[in-house]
Structure 1
Amino acid sequence: FLFTGNMGTLINMLPLFLLFLLLKPLQFQLITDGSLTDEEFEEHLDGTGPSREPTKKLFKAHVIIDPERPLHDPTYCSNEMKRKNVHRQFYCVKEHFFLQASYEDIQKICHNTFMSCGEEVGICFTSEKKIEVVHCVLTSGIRMPNCEYTSSYEKGWVFITCRWQNDIREIIPESVVGMLTSTGKVPSYPHHS
């Protein structure tokens, strides 16, 4: 691991969170079109299925929150997941994070301190400041538009993966893989069946 600045302080304060990151890789999966075979759907339930590479445009559309909308609405996730068309080949995603920050601020995280987020995720980057987040967890449904989610408002440090997008020649945020809340609690992540 490479830790500098504020992240070192965060790590000293919350070693159990880091252990959690090492033991249970977090995932974000996003595909916007197509259909799944039975075998691919089983892979989806395991979290190992194929995924379409996100782009700057998709990340902005599917992760960045409209600053005008109230974040404490209990139906926020169910409504926004449908409105923003967030799904995995029309199947419900198990978990999603909406961030209330500018795309440029999120993109800057790709240049922050990095750490390992487990084998499946690899290297991730953490925000240096707290970000307002709506954390969505699937409660019912399998296919769009029948996906229903719980919505919980959080404020804390987010962990993202980044990648190079060759056509625009920029490092872009790829996915939000988790967060550490400002109270030091780790949100519960759904287990794969």
Structure 2
Amino acid sequence: MRTLLTMQSLPLLLLLLQPLPLQVLMQGKYLGLSDHLAEELEDYIDELYSTGPTKPPTKEIFQKHVIIPPRVPLYYEYDCSFEMRYRNVHDRFYCRKEHFFLPVTYEELQKTCSSKFVACKNGVKRCHKTEKIIEGLHCKLTSGIRMSGCYYETVYKKGYALITCQWQDDIGEIIPEKVNDILEISGKQ
């Protein structure tokens, strides 16, 4: 038999049984994280679930997501599916349609940001072309929608990299933002 008291207290009881909000859990004592790690996790969660634009690119993110150590031979040692998961490359846990890995130094790509504009692969004239021919990996999504179910075809390319650049206020310099394409060379140069 239900009484007036039990019918009114059921919604209150359900409210009390809800899990603690993430902000409460983020206060180091619940997860046992250092203040620095808790702040990084909170920023990551905020960006992941926000509906606005993503955080601007940083030098560290570009290095982590694009630069790979130069090794020989490049095309035998890397698998895009593994590298994308290992380096945590995604767009809010959705698979990227394509991505590039380059075995060059960050400084070399940053110098490219000072070169004149050239057309990107979509025709918009806001890319910069590397001075030297470089090797790289082009990762093309073959199946999957969300991480970690993303699978990529690994394509070895050799040519000029097209990159976009952006000003980063906190360090006061222009930085590479994204690799747009690798223009494969034809014939001997």
TM-score normalised by the chain length of structure 2: 0.67
Describe the superposition over 1:131-175 as per-residue Cα deviations: whole angstroms up to 9, x where unpaired: 110000000011111100000111110111111101001110011
The equivalences for 1:32-71 within 5 A come to 34-35=48-49, 50-68=53-71, 70-71=73-74
Which blocks of at least 5 consecutive residues in structure 2 are unaligned?
A: 1-43
Greater Rg over alpha carbons, structure: 2
Separation (CA, whole Å) in 1 of partners of 2:170 and 2:94: 29
Deviates more, 1:171-180 or 1:120-129: 120-129
- Quick one: which of 141, 144, 163 aligns to 2:144? 141
Describe the superposition over 1:45-94 as per-residue Cα deviations: whole angstroms up to 9, x where unpaired: xxxx9443211000000000122475223861001000000000011000
Separation (CA, whole Å) in 2 of partners of 1:95 and 1:173: 17
**Given residue 178 of structure 1, which amino acid in structure 2 is its aligned partner?**
D
- Does the C-alpha gap of structure 1 residues 74 and 143 become closer, same or farther in structure 2, counting only changes over 3 Å? farther
The equivalences for 1:9-24 within 5 A come to none
Which blocks of at least 5 consecutive residues in structure 1 are unaligned?
A: 1-30, 41-48, 185-193
Alignment partner of 1:164 is 2:164: no
Match of 2:20 in 1: none
Q: Does the 8 A contact of 1:163 with 1:174 survive in 2? A: yes
- Quick one: which of 147, 152, 157 aligns to 1:154? 157
How far residue 120 of structure 1 moved from its aligned partner, in angstroms, is 8.6
Separation (CA, whole Å) in 2 of partners of 1:86 and 1:119: 22
Q: Does the 8 A contact of 2:69 with 2:104 survive in 1? A: no
Q: Does the 8 A contact of 1:96 with 1:135 survive in 2? A: yes
**Given residue 81 of structure 1, which amino acid in structure 2 is its aligned partner?**
M
How far residue 35 of structure 1 moved from its aligned partner, in angstroms, is 4.1
Separation (CA, whole Å) in 1 of partners of 2:185 and 2:134: 9
Match of 2:86 in 1: 83
- Does the C-alpha gap of structure 1 residues 70 and 87 become closer, same or farther in structure 2, counting only changes over 3 Å? farther
Counting matched residue pairs gives 143
Alignment root-mean-square deviation, CA: 2.7
Which structure has more relative contact order (CA 8 Å, sep 6+)? It is: 1
TM-score normalised by the chain length of structure 1: 0.66
- Quick one: which of 75, 96, 115 aligns to 2:99? 96
- Does the C-alpha gap of structure 1 residues 91 and 112 become closer, same or farther in structure 2, counting only changes over 3 Å? same
Match of 1:128 in 2: 131
Q: Does the 8 A contact of 2:130 with 2:162 survive in 1? A: yes
- Does the C-alpha gap of structure 1 residues 79 and 70 become closer, same or farther in structure 2, counting only changes over 3 Å? farther
- Does the C-alpha gap of structure 1 residues 177 and 132 become closer, same or farther in structure 2, counting only changes over 3 Å? same
Match of 2:21 in 1: none
